[in-house]
Amino acid sequence: MHFLDILLLSFRTITAYKLRSALTSLGLIIGIAAVIILTSLGRGLHSFVIAEFTQFGTNIIGVHPGKKTTLGLSGATISTVRPLSMADASSLRKLAGIVAVVPVVQGNARVETDNKQRRTNVIGAGDAVPQVWKIHTASGQFLPSGEDANPRAFAVLGDKLATELFGQTSPLGQRIRIGTDRYRVIGVMEKKGQMLGFDMDDTVYIPATKALEMFDREGLMEINLLYSNNVSVTTVQQSIKQLLIARHGREDFNLITQNQMLESMNSILSILTMAVAALGGISLLVGSVGIITIMTIAVSERVSEIGLLRAIGAERKIIFKLFLFEALTLSAVGGFIGVLTGIGIVVLISNLVPALPAELAWSYIAAAFTLSLLIGIVSGVMPAIKAAHLDPLQALHSE
């Protein structure tokens, strides 16, 4: 019996038992569709988070107060960490390879106009925010430079905040109260949207020195530095460490590069995608159990057919191939339908819920389909061996 004859006979057997074949493939269809949907959501989340981190660029180093690891007795050095100061930011600005520096203080305060008020995010920063954070003003200007020591009471509004406070009227030149102090609005930022849950449009920017006074803080929350493409990040980090150790007397700060953050997030999100793929793989295992069960039952139901084939000269390997191909065909058809179903559901989710990140992970789709074929082969081996080793006389006698 030729290969095409065995394949054709397998197809005819599957189509002869339509309901049983459909139920057998259903487990694989659901399993593969689940893998595709879950991994697509995981990959979409991965791409979304990475895009959120990289929208500010990759040549950024964050300086944070305090070290990752400490030595000695806990509690003995609780108040020995020297806070980051505006003077630290000014000194870092003079280092070779540093393009721009942004001191950062963040908090929440009440913002008032003559007839409206609301609480919003307040970011104390410097004039280099547009350059470092890649956000720009839609109208007016950002905070002026050279006012670290004695800054004027200027404020720049996020797009959403400007609309809610002033409507369609231009806020430029208007006076607002932030906390207990009055500020003059000199600019409105472009629409930026959310960054990891933080609404950049619902924000007001004021000078960092003013924010330190407003929130009664001793030091900056962090200092962001933009370094040149022409220097290595290692060289820049070493220069920053030398300068701050000289100023603080010890290494009581922590440096985090944008690349380090991206690598950490990439590792975490890749593990998450693999985890959700494993959850979907459980359905594939259930589908494999279904194929083994159905094929074993099929052998018992078709004993007389096997006996007849053996009586007319079919060898054991032909019987083995026949049942193995049936299992492989069921898994291939189920896998193909599962792939189409999964892709269709992901496309539907993307159209119905655009805010939910979903991105087809083709590597996982290929792996799931390949796994379905392997499941068909593995699941069909034992029933095929059982069918091939049936005694032809006993098989015919069972009729």
Lowest mean pLDDT of 200-209, 247-256, 261-270, 347-356, name the range. Answer: 261-270
Pairing of strands 198-199, 175-178: unpaired
**What pLDDT shows up at residue 66?**
80
Largest CA distance in the chain: 104
Instruction: Indicate if the pLDDT at residue 58 is higher than 80.
Output: no
Got the DSSP string for 123-159? Answer: EEE-TTHHHHH---EEEE--PPSS-SSS---EEEE-H
Higher pLDDT, 46 or 96: 96
- pLDDT(159) > 70: yes
Residue with tokens 């407003």: 214
Q: From CA 326, how far away is CA 292, in angstroms rounded?
A: 11
What pLDDT, on a 0 to 100 scale, did the predictor assign at position 173? Answer: 93
The band of 171, judged by pLDDT with boundaries at 50, 70 and 90, is very high
Residue 162 amino acid letter = A
**What's the gap between Cα 142 and its chain centre?**
32
Query: What is the model's pLDDT at position 57?
Result: 64
Does residue 151 or residue 16 have the better pLDDT? 151
Task: Tell me the chain's radius of gyration from C-alpha atoms.
Answer: 33
Distance CA 28, CA 335 (A): 6
pLDDT tier at 277, thresholds 50, 70, 90: confident
Nearest to 128 by CA among 231, 259, 227: 227
* Exposure letters 149-177 (e unless 16+ CB within 10 A, then b): eebeebbbbbbbbbebbbeeeebbebebe
Higher-pLDDT residue of 27, 245: 245
Compute the distance between CA of residue 60 and CA of residue 121 in angstroms, rounded to an integer. 23
Residue predicted with more confidence, 394 or 234: 234
Residue 126 · residue 105 · CB < 8 Å: no
The H or E element that residue 296 is part of is helix 258-301
What pLDDT, on a 0 to 100 scale, did the predictor assign at position 197?
Answer: 64
Give the pLDDT score at 60: 87
- Whether the CB-CB separation of 2 and 261 falls below 8 Å is answered with no
Q: Indicate if the pLDDT at residue 215 is higher than 80.
A: yes
pTM over 0.75: no
**pLDDT, mean of residues 352-370:** 84
3-class state of residue 179 by DSSP: coil
Highest mean pLDDT among 326-335, 338-347, 356-365: 338-347
Q: How confident is the model at residue 70 (pLDDT cuts 50, 70, 90)?
A: very low
